[in-house]
Homo-oligomer: A and B are copies of this chain.
Amino acid sequence: MAATMKDIARLTGLGLATISSYFNGGNVREKNRVKIEKAIEELHYEVNEVARGLKTNATKTIGVVIPELNNIFCAEIITGMEDILRSHGYATIVCDCRTDKKLEQEAVEFLIRRRVDGIINMPVDETGAHLKKFQKTGKPIVLIDRKIQGIPCDSVLVDNKKAAEDAMQLFIEKGHRKIGIIGGPEGIFTAEERLEGYYTALKKAGIPIKNSLVYHGDYTIQGGVRGLEELVRENPDMTAVFVTNYEMTMGAIIGVNELGIQIPEQLSMIGFDNLQFARACRPKLTIVSQPTDRIAKEIARIILEHLEKKEERSEEPFMEKLQTKIMEGKSVSILNR
């Protein structure tokens, strides 16, 4: 039969309160700690986290709801977070909602039934309707890369507007004026911020905006292929294109290859994310690079702070904004003006 806390108490001669305090992370004198750990080993005692969860009303489980696990930005962030959360004893249940609001809602319901201690979400439904019920539990929610009006919760995001402005700035400095953009889906926060950066940079440079140069993609590889094809077809005089996420960047490169366009002689390009992919492009692609590693660490830190109440946090939701940087390749030509 499995050993119980009582067996540990008997073997160590300590009170149950001390043993319980040990398992719940409370203060235990060093010599008692040593005794308890020796007893655990001798008795082959195993914590039943499930039973413990019922008593402490904490399951030590965090739900993560993301649009696409296949998306490299999501995968890298989850890898980083999961590592940290696990080292603090938290399991991570990952739900991929396939960029579908209904599936996202179902995933949250599922996590509520699972009594998760907190939810990390890169929301698809920007109204936040899917989070309302979980929010009532008072448990923490942390948003990745997006903000939601009306759901007061912490978020970690990158300065997407500036990211796009920087990329456009680089094109403009090198003499480009007919610059296309393969943007993300309308209604998605990051997509709108990046598009706004595009408009702002053009405005600052006094370049008129042309609708045919703006393609609204869907953050998928196929969307990138279609976007590149359409921009090229509609704008024979376009000299540069900015692609606003990794999957569409891969798609745009596929489009360029399949149309036989020479980069940067016939078209300059700046992509998004994934330095390794940029190196695998010929010529090497200039990209906007997001600090995925830091995003992962910050999200884990914030949710752990909430869960372990290490420090008093104000009620005011906390928004952390990280900066991107441009990694220059050889995909942007200098134009003679």
Chain A residues in the interface with B (C-beta under 8 A): 46-51, 53-54, 59, 61, 68-70, 72, 75-76, 78-79, 82-83, 86, 91-96, 98, 107, 110, 112-115, 221, 250-251, 253-254, 257-258, 276-277, 279-284
Q: Do residues A70 and B59 form an inter-chain contact, with CB atoms below 8 A?
A: no
For the complex, what is the distance from the CA of A98 to the CA of B59, rounded to whole Å?
25
For the complex, what is the distance from the CA of A86 to the CA of B96, rounded to whole Å?
10
For the complex, what is the distance from the CA of A96 to the CA of B114, rounded to whole Å?
21
Q: Identify which of A48, A54, A59, A75 gathers the most chain B CB atoms within 10 Å of its CB.
A: A75
Copies, count: 2
For the complex, what is the distance from the CA of A72 to the CA of B281, rounded to whole Å?
18
The residues of B that contact A258 with a CB separation of less than 8 Å are 279
Given contacts A75-B75, A280-B281, A282-B282, list 8 more A-B pairs with CB under 8 A. Answer: A46-B112, A48-B113, A49-B113, A50-B53, A82-B96, A86-B107, A251-B276, A257-B283
A-B pairs with lowest CB-CB distance, top 9: A254-B279, A253-B280, A69-B79, A91-B93, A49-B113, A50-B115, A254-B280, A221-B276, A282-B282
For the complex, what is the distance from the CA of A250 to the CA of B279, rounded to whole Å?
9
Tell me which of B54, B75, B107 contacts A70 (CB under 8 A). Answer: B75
Q: What's the nearest-Cβ distance from chain B to residue A239, in Å?
A: 20
For the complex, what is the distance from the CA of A113 to the CA of B253, rounded to whole Å?
46
For the complex, what is the distance from the CA of A295 to the CA of B21, rounded to whole Å?
45
Knowing A75-B70, A282-B282 touch, does A92 contact B91 (C-beta < 8 A)?
Answer: no
Name 25 A/B residue pairs within 8 A (Cβ), A-sorted: A46-B112, A48-B113, A49-B114, A49-B115, A50-B114, A54-B54, A61-B93, A69-B78, A69-B82, A70-B72, A70-B79, A82-B94, A82-B96, A83-B98, A86-B95, A86-B107, A86-B110, A91-B93, A92-B93, A92-B94, A250-B277, A251-B276, A253-B280, A254-B280, A280-B280
